[in-house]
Structure 1
């Protein structure tokens, strides 16, 4: 009996070790697949245009072409477009955090006529492709005289149905007793929202902020329609302008893309734990 039990207990750690090794191998392969495009982009940014377009591809350039990064500033007004992208991202993120948190709190906690109907209509926006709104949005921005301005790019993205739903899920997960206790202490609705509710949904605000930053930084179609002045364009539109009709300097394009993606990549690496925790928490709420 003792020899059989010893054999069984020895098999259990081995099976667990084998399972863990398989999981780690799968995760390692997935990580390599995810990181490879960024590494390949960096390698291509340090290559010549002939090496980028060569067949079979050149996996490592013989001499690193650091001059490609300097040529980016000669091809487009990179710094102007960079600060335009920063302005658009900051304003959109601030607007989303303010308006979506207010909407989420109202839908989750307040009782007013047609609350469910309005919430359903807000969610129905998620089923409509953004391209459907583009023509009326453009006409509104044109009538307001906001073409080729940062405000014209920011306004349509200052609120989102996803952000409102996202924050609603967080506010619904907060115990009602906390709100009732604050009301008994004499707090008005604004004080309850600012002093009690907002500190409790910081993971959701952090996750929404990072998601909005990534979306705003990568937004291309709407800024491409609204802006025509190269100094008023964000980086996404500036990068698109580097693609010529007949020829494209892919090495310079890859160098510009590397510089454009670096800030957002660093931000995501720093904030990834908050993003994952925030999205996981919102998915658990009723």
Structure 2
């Protein structure tokens, strides 16, 4: 019996890569605990002595932080739910029902993945303005509820569904909607979870679109709200980093609580 020796160089490489990923976040937290003078010193201050929460207090004084946080949460969850429903319906039509021209539609959908999203900013703004939805939370989520990648991801899951289950349900007289929500969706739960995770993360870090469509601070999300802290001439980096750390904290907590589900759904979606 041959016992494989541990490949310590692989563990070392992974540790170095992990440390490189963590360094920016650690630097952000350390800067958030500094005073404004410490952030401007040359050579730069590494360890804040003594640490201070002045940057955190300034964030709460300059921004309606909890309002921005609640806006981000509502928009992210709302967009994720709408994206799951629309992507599931579209993927079901392409993979299971196989409507006429399904292959052409699939090719067009895949083509849209290669189109930069910034191209659609002006058309989306024209539509939102025409619907009189500017300066609302609905305007932040509505143009993005159709996710091309989400349709393709769920299409890959649905295509691998056992045909016997679908045919048995059809023989029993089940409608397409019943088949989708009682058979296909439960079997493809890992793919739906993966899509929901990616959608929430993308919306949580959205910056450009909220600035374009909304002007009131109370109708913004965390990304553009934090951008308002950057000064035209001088920026208090401790305040900016404190806001960034607080904005990232909810996602970190959610990941730590649901780590197993995150990794499992992502791994299964990759296998599909």
TM-score, structure 2 as length reference: 0.94
User: Which residue of structure 2 lines up, in the alignment, with residue 258 of structure 1?
Assistant: 245
CA contact (8 A) 2:76 2:200 kept: yes
* Paired residue total: 272
Distance 1:145 1:212 in 2: 25
User: Which residue of structure 2 lines up, in the alignment, with residue 184 of structure 1?
Assistant: 171
CA contact (8 A) 1:210 1:271 kept: no
Is 1:33 the equivalent of 2:11? Answer: no
Is 1:154 the equivalent of 2:141? Answer: yes
Secondary structure of the 2:14 match is helix
TM-score, structure 1 as length reference: 0.90
Distance 2:181 2:126 in 1: 36
Secondary structure of the 1:146 match is coil
Pick from 132, 154, 159: which aligns with 1:167?
154
User: Which residue of structure 2 lines up, in the alignment, with residue 238 of structure 1?
Assistant: 225
How far off is 1:70 after superposition? 1.5
Distance 1:274 1:209 in 2: 12
CA contact (8 A) 1:167 1:204 kept: yes
How far off is 1:124 after superposition? 1.3
> Deviations along 1:183-235, whole A, 9 cap, x unmatched?
23332222211111111111111111111010000000100101111111111
User: Which residue of structure 1 lines up, in the alignment, with residue 80 of structure 2?
Assistant: 93
Pick from 47, 50, 55: which aligns with 1:60?
47
User: Which residue of structure 1 lines up, in the alignment, with residue 38 of structure 2?
Assistant: 51
Is 1:113 the equivalent of 2:100? Answer: yes
How far off is 1:254 after superposition? 0.7
Deviating beyond 6 angstroms after TM superposition, the runs of 4 or more aligned structure 1 residues are: none
User: Which residue of structure 2 lines up, in the alignment, with residue 16 of structure 1?
Assistant: 5
Distance 1:157 1:270 in 2: 27
How far off is 1:272 after superposition? 4.1
Aligned runs of 1:187-206 on 2, under 5 Å? Answer: 187-206=174-193
Q: What stretches of structure 2 of length at least 5 have no aligned partner?
A: none
User: Which residue of structure 2 lines up, in the alignment, with residue 226 of structure 1?
Assistant: 213
Greater helix content? 1
Pick from 271, 278, 281: which aligns with 2:265?
278
